[in-house]
Structure formats: structure tokens, C-alpha cells
Amino acid sequence: MNATQQLHDLGQSIWLDNVSPALLTSAALSRYIRELAVTGLTSNPATFDHAIQSGGSYDDAIGRMVREGKSGEPLFFELALEDTRQTADLFRPIHDATDGVDGWVSLDVSPLLADHTTATVLAAAQLHARAQRANLFIKIPGNAAGIAAIEETIFAGVPVNVTLLFSREHYIAAAEAYMRGIERRIAAGLDPVVASVASIFVSRWDVAVTDEISDQVRNGLGIAIAMRTYKAYRDLLASKRWQQLAAAGARPQRLLWASTGSKDPATSDTLYVEALAAPDTINTMPEKTLLAFADHGQVKGNMPIDGGYAEAVLAEFTREGVNDEVLAADLQRRGTTALAESWRQLMSSIAARSELLTQGRP
């Protein structure tokens, strides 16, 4: 049994953080589902941009949409929805077999809406309706405007992948927004089952402090933050508030580990996957990390539900001058800015590719 199957058997879902026509047409994704226990998929503007810049994969679709008069965001969403529907259909048997717990794909609203609650809620509802796929999460950032949008979107019955969460406090804010949305649905006599995941970004913590800390604690901050957050997740599921919602038929918002590829070439390429093994969670991995873990990764046991050594490690980082509360806010701001920049780059790549195809140059 390979390591990915062991992780799946432990109770953690493995999702791939990548999407492209090549992944679908080459049957690679079907093989990952069959052989590596992949049960879902996330995407982001950077993965689409890479596929477009690589050339060829989207040319026929882009050319057709340009001829239809589409450009910019409208063209991209047509492109993304085509991929999303195909991918969602591939995962639909898993979604059905797990009664909606697994088998999800995700698609971002425009990151340019990150500070606009009402526009985000509207965009999320429109995207989900256009996709016509029950197993689609709409990705909404967990910043201040996003938290308000998450509550409204859940209340509207649209499944949400809360993205750009970096700390326990960020996670709790997202979880409470989810619960408020469910509580409002129950009060209104609506179905309490609306799926959601809360995505905690892990490796970016270590990248942010790599030049400020000693070698003894290098690559330990992200894992400690994740352990602290996992304790909060378990505490919330045991809380009276959640138990009342569960009794009414609601399902938990699952915790998802994002940014789990190792960025430090001096450390193990499976570091975060091995450290973040935990039941009732999701790990969304870049393709390179997935293949590395399948090849030589090890499942060494479950993350402790009581936080383990997290606070001791975080105290050591405090002694080294790292203020995790300040850094969490900074990482979220930077992440929101970077996502918007990635989106603008994607729009630029689409425009450039459209121009080349219009001129008859592939």
C-alpha cells in the first residue's frame, strides 16, 4: 500500500492543487484518483496562468471565445467553467459515494472583489449557478470583507472554500461565519446542509521568517501554527454550539491544509504532508508534492488533538522575535495582494494569447 492510500485510510482527504486540459486529456487525473487516492481538486489563478503561458492547451477554446467576442474576465470564467465542469464530473462518483463529504472541486471568485462583500456574494452565487455542479466550492478569501461574504453565501446555500487563512484566529473567524450562516438557515426553515472547507496556508509562514531565525527552528513555524489550529478545530467540533447544529442535521466545515509543498530545498519535499496527517481534514497538494509523497513519503501518525508541542515551539519563535499575530495579519494582506496580482497576470496572459491567436500565430 502506498503512502497516499495510507493517508486516505487514516481519514485525511488528498486533493490535487492543479488543473489544466493536459491533466484531463492525458488521463493523469484519472490515474491519480485510481492509484493515489486523490479525491478532490483545487485551482488558483496561477495554475491557469501557467497552463495558458505554456501554450497550446487552451488555444482552441480561447480562439473560439475570442471569435464570440469575449475577452478578459468573461473569457476566463467561460474557460474555467468548462474545465471545472469536466473535473467536477470526474469526481462526482466520489462525491456521491461519500454523501457529499468528498469529491469537490474549487473555483475562485475574482480576487479583485476581495474588499467588496456584496459583490463577492453576488459573484459566488452566479458562478455556482452557471457551473451547475453540486460538487463545486466557490473560493472566497477569509479577510474582513470575505468573512461577511462567507456568512451570506452559506446562508444562500452556496458551498464555500474559505481561502487565505493563516492562523487559529483566522480559522475561528471563518468557522463562526459558517456557523452563523447555518444557524440562519435553520431559523428560516432551510436545509442546514451546506458544505464548506476552511483553508489554512502553512508553508508561507516558514518562507516569511526564513531570514530572521536560527537554523534550529527553521521550517517549524507553519507546522506549529497548523497544530494550534487543529486543536481549535477539534475544540469547536466538541463545543455545545456545534453539537446543537449537528443535532439539527448540519455538517462540519472541514479543515484544509493548503500551501503544503516544501519551499526550502534543504528540507524534505514531504515535510508538511507528513507533519499534517490528521483525520477529518484535507491536504491539497501541488502535483510535484503528491508524486513525491507517493514515491517516498511516510505516514508517521496523527497530529495530536490537544495541540501537542505547538505552544512550546511558538514560544521559541517569540524568543527569536517573531510575533505570530502580527505576521498572520501581514501574511493575509500579502496573500490577498499576491492573489490579485496573479489574477492581473492571468488577464494579461489571456489578452496576449488572444492577440496571437487573432493574428494566426500560435
pLDDT tens-digit series, residues 304-325: 999 999 999 999 999 999 999 9
Closest CA to 84 of 49, 45, 41: 41
Q: What are the distances in angstroms from CA 277 to CA 132, 274, 280?
A: 33, 6, 10
Q: Kindly tell me if the per-residue pLDDT of 122 is higher than 90.
A: yes
Mean pLDDT of 91-119: 97
pLDDT tens-digit series, residues 78-87: 999 999 999 9
Decide if 313 contacts 333 (C-beta within 8 A): no
Mean pLDDT of 133-140: 98
**β-bridge partners, 38:** 14
**Which pTM does this prediction carry?**
0.96
CA dist 306 and 314 (Å) reads 15
pLDDT tens-digit series, residues 263-309: 999 999 999 999 999 999 999 999 999 999 999 999 998 999 999 99
Q: Grid coordinates standing for 181?
A: 450562516
Chain-centroid distance of CA 234 in Å reads 20
Q: Grid coordinates standing for 77?
A: 470564467
Which tops the pLDDT comparison, 25 or 58? 58
**Pairing, β 281-285 against β 13-17:** parallel
CA dist 326 and 329 (Å) reads 5
Q: Grid coordinates standing for 158?
A: 452556496
Q: Grid coordinates standing for 330?
A: 501581514
Q: Kindly tell me if the per-residue pLDDT of 146 is higher than 90.
A: yes
Q: Grid coordinates standing for 306?
A: 490537544
- The residues, any chain, with a CB within 8 Å of residue 355's CB and separated by 6 or more, are none
Cell 477529518 found at: 280
Decide if 29 contacts 287 (C-beta within 8 A): no
Please give the full DSSP string across 226-269, using - where no structure is assigned.
Answer: HHHHHHHHHHHHTSHHHHHHHHTT--PPEEEEE--S---TTS-T
User: What pLDDT shows up at residue 58?
Assistant: 86
Closest CA to 285 of 15, 50, 6: 15
CA dist 234 and 305 (Å) reads 6
CATH class of the domain comprising 3-358: alpha beta
* pLDDT confidence tier of residue 55, bands split at 50, 70 and 90: low
CA dist 300 and 178 (Å) reads 32
User: What pLDDT shows up at residue 197?
Assistant: 98
Above pLDDT 90, what percent of the chain? 85
pLDDT tens-digit series, residues 338-360: 999 999 999 999 999 898 888 86
Q: Which residues are catalytic?
A: 139
86 C-beta neighbours (distance < 10 Å), count? 16
